Structure 1
Amino acid sequence: MIHVENLSKSFGSKRVLQDVSFTAEPGRVTGFVGPNGAGKSTVLKIIAGLVRPDAGTVSVNGKDFSQALLPGKTMGLFLSAEWLPEQATAAGIIDYVCRTQGLPVSWGRDTLETVGLAGVAQHRVRTFSLGMRQRLGIATATVSRPDVLVMDEPINGLDPDGIAWIRSFLSSAASQGATVLLSSHHMAELAETADDIVMIGGGRILGQGSIGDFVSHPDETGYYLESPDPENLLVAMAQRGFRATRERGGILVHHTNPTELASVALESGAGISHLSRVTRSLEDTYFAVLARSASGGRE
């Protein structure tokens, strides 16, 4: 588990975080989203102990990460593949990580196999594509089989097969009880992978919750319905104060629930032949939250 409480941080006169709080739960993938400059990277670095907050606390599995007796087993961290030395081989890097963390060298070989780099283990990093470097960086973060995974944009540079692999890998890690905190701009992939969403903007938390709750904001809940007598039903809805509009061959209704819709349809005699809930995509929700924040609204 990662518990972040009331983090604040400034660099000089620039405030980058203010009262940031959220929890990433074990057995779940938590998507961490926000625009460039929102404070995501600073939060991840504070979690990893690379940056000190001005205020607030972070605990990893109930403790300050700096107090972990086995830091590699406690948390695997992937912030960037840029640190990988160009002249080293994939096998050399993963063997070094295993030796410094007291892990069996066989774990390194198994991990290279897992990330799809076993066939190029003796190749130097300078010959690797961005996607291959991403895979190697992920290997170094996961070779110790940590309880917590923190990853920043791990699918950058990956081909479709690589994206499918990382999605499966992270979901599998969570299903085995790991805490996964995943920062990404790829909303479609997060929608396929994440169980929970935390959204940050301007150094503040703008919204959080399960992905189902996050995309079903009460101000945006709507239903699409079809009726044998749509005109009569539209009149009845207007009289009840519902916001309803014609949509294709049916009616789109906002700010209501199925019980209220059924009541109006029964009272008016119009009836309902089809009813379905209208849901937003994660990307739609992301931009809607940003727009509300820019206009001074709250999620």
Structure 2
Amino acid sequence: MSVKSAHTARFVAAGVVAALAVATAAPAGAAAPTVDPGVSKTEIVIGTTTPLTGPASPGYKYVAPAAQAYFDYVNANGGINGRKIKYVVADDAYNPALTKKATNQLILRDKIFAMFGALGTPSHSAVVTDLNRRGIPDVFVNTGFSGFDDAKRYPTTFPYFPSYTVEAKSMAFYIQGDAALNAKTKCLFYQDGEFGDNAMAGFTAAGLSFTTTTSYSSGQQVAPFTAQVTKLKSAGCDLVVFFGVTSATAQLLGTAAKAGFRPTWMITSVGSDPSVLGASLGAATNTL
């Protein structure tokens, strides 16, 4: 298991436990509150959508089990105001169509009180409007897409990542402050959609330009990135900034190694877990 992913999941799970404790507490002498879906005298039902399978699952498939381990600990120690946490995990394979189906099941069949830690920018984008329309708490969204941090548009959604735009600005600041890095031929490789759009917006705002850019669509990482690596190599890139998921990072590094392309790499936080990346890279290249 990824130590980084597990630690982050437990930290966020602790946060949601605190939030649920506040949400389900009633002051002494207060009138009995209206019962919310997913909340009974004995349990609180929360749900999540996450890629347990599919091309984006390496690394991310460990997040939900780590959160479950923490909730098991809370339940073993009395729960929240006497209520046990029931955590319902739905595999969406990082596929927005499956996210919609899974989210509907969580709401209509499992009667969740809240969505917790739903993972993925394209997948969560497919359901965030419906969650807010229904008034369902949508807490600690597991993505850095800045669009979810809009209290007016999404009043029940609470992100916890710094946005990808902020991360890109920070990376640009680091590059611009390092003479050796800044002198390199800089190129950008990103995932299509809001994920990559956020990154480009951050770099643009920071005044960092790239000699060339290329991209991939979600799921494309099941095959080598031959065309993209060829483009980067032909452009003479010797610093490649990458914004994508961990499995795509592994495919990129594996494809580049086979092509003899060895630039300096700078990789987004959500695609650079060392323990997960090492295992994935071995599978992608048949070498460690």
TM-score, structure 1 length as denominator? 0.29
Question: Who wins on radius of gyration, i.e. which is larger?
Answer: 1
Higher helix share: 2
Higher strand share: 1
RCO greater where, 1 or 2, for CA within 8 Å and sep 6 or more? 1
* TM-score of the superposed pair, with normalisation by structure 2: 0.30
